[in-house]
Amino acid sequence: MDGGGLLDLLTFMAVLAFFSYASRELEIRRLANEIELYLTLFKAARDRAVSAAVRKFGEVVAKSGIRVNLSDLEARVKQLVDTVVISPESLDPFGLVRKLKHVLRSEEQTLKEEVKRAAPAATKGEVEVVTDLINVARGLNFILKYVNHNYTLAKRFKSYWLLLQLDALLPFIAEEVRAYESAVEALLKQVPIGDSVGPLVLSMLAKELKAEAVSFGVPDTLAFHATYEGRDLVLIKAEGPGSQRREIRRGS
């Protein structure tokens, strides 16, 4: 091989290596731009949820006759949104369910007490709405931070495969974000989330059977005892805002 042929071969290999590197860099940049677009959308959704929680919280506090400082209230809501509840280790061979139930109930009760402390005159329904709005904002905040963490890690190491996997998952994560956003609208309008067929059917059945309300010490839960064709029935439904307990009692 003469000198000219060797030079052509080296030139070809150099050009091939350059385009291979350039194409990979361009693909990484394309994936990064797509992920950053999703992150912008997720951040906007989180911020809207936080604003909705602050606005509703302010309305509830104002009803209690307390002067509302929106800056302090917003700072407190953001602290609650940034709070992370660490679940027990799932590999624990003993008592996982009991520990998890305790953690979840303690976290929920603490959040409700925080809302009740700021708005002493708030009704149970108002406390539930504000609590749920904060939980929705917390869920959106977790998604944003989780995606951003993986994106930052992949970008730091310029990992094409991590970026590719994350980019492939983002459309499905976006569906979850849209579901959270729909929940914000439903909570603000205080409309049922879901079709509410289960509670409606149970309420109608309890009224039809002239069921009597019974108490068994479980918070936020209603139970009714009825008899049907010689069999004892126990009908259980969540209490929640808009409970049908009073209407059922009148119909018995």
pLDDT digits (tens, 9 = 90+) for 215-239: 877 777 889 999 988 899 999 888 7
| Range 187-216 average pLDDT | 84
More confident residue, 68 or 175: 175
Let me know: does 200 contact 247? Beta carbons within 8 Å.
Answer: no
| Range 42-51 average pLDDT | 96
9 by Cβ neighbours in 10 Å (0-12 / 13-18 / 19+) ranks as exposed
- Provide the pLDDT for residue 33: 93
Helical residues (DSSP H) of the chain, grouped into ranges: 3-63, 70-82, 96-118, 124-156, 160-189, 197-208, 245-251
pLDDT digits (tens, 9 = 90+) for 148-168: 999 999 988 888 899 999 999
| Sequence letter at residue 49 | A
- Rounded to two decimals, the pTM is 0.77
Q: What percent of the chain has pLDDT over 90?
A: 35
Residue 47: pLDDT over 80: yes
Q: How many CB atoms lie within 10 A of CB 187?
A: 22
